[in-house]
């Protein structure tokens, strides 16, 4: 039995083709924008990169946690 799954990169998709309703519960999605626009945690977004502060945050199920990249 062969594996039919394929890992794709966001550049493989046309902009705007994937809608929130297409994303399953087990998917983790990253979004970017201004720090002030970080979601409240009730959306499908599980990682957020603030372009104005260069800060990456991950949703831990209760709050956003800042991640230090090195």
> Looking at residue 1, what is its pLDDT?
42
pLDDT of 47 above 80: yes
Q: Is residue 59 part of a domain?
A: yes
Radius of gyration (C-alpha) of the chain in whole angstroms: 14
Question: How many structural domains are present in the chain?
Answer: 1
Q: Is residue 11 part of a domain?
A: no
Q: Which residue has the higher pLDDT, 26 or 32?
A: 32
d(CA 8, CA 62): 29
Positive or negative: CA dihedral 35, 31, 61, 66: negative
Q: Is residue 8 part of a domain?
A: no
Range of the domain at 35: 27-65
Is residue 30 within 8 Å of residue 46, measured between CB atoms?
yes
Average per-residue pLDDT in the chain?
A: 77
Q: Is residue 41 part of a domain?
A: yes
Q: Is residue 3 part of a domain?
A: no
Is residue 59 within 8 Å of residue 40, measured between CB atoms?
no
pTM, full prediction: 0.60
Q: Is residue 9 part of a domain?
A: no
Quote the longest CA-to-CA distance of the chain.
48
């Amino acid at each position: 039995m062969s594996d039919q799954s394929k890992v794709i990169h966001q550049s493989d998709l046309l902009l705007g083709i994937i809608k929130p309703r297409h994303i399953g519960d087990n998917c983790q999605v990253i979004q970017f924008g201004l720090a002030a626009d970080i979601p409240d945690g009730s959306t499908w977004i599980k990682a957020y990169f603030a372009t104005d502060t260069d800060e990456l945050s991950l949703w831990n199920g209760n709050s956003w946690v800042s991640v230090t990249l090195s």
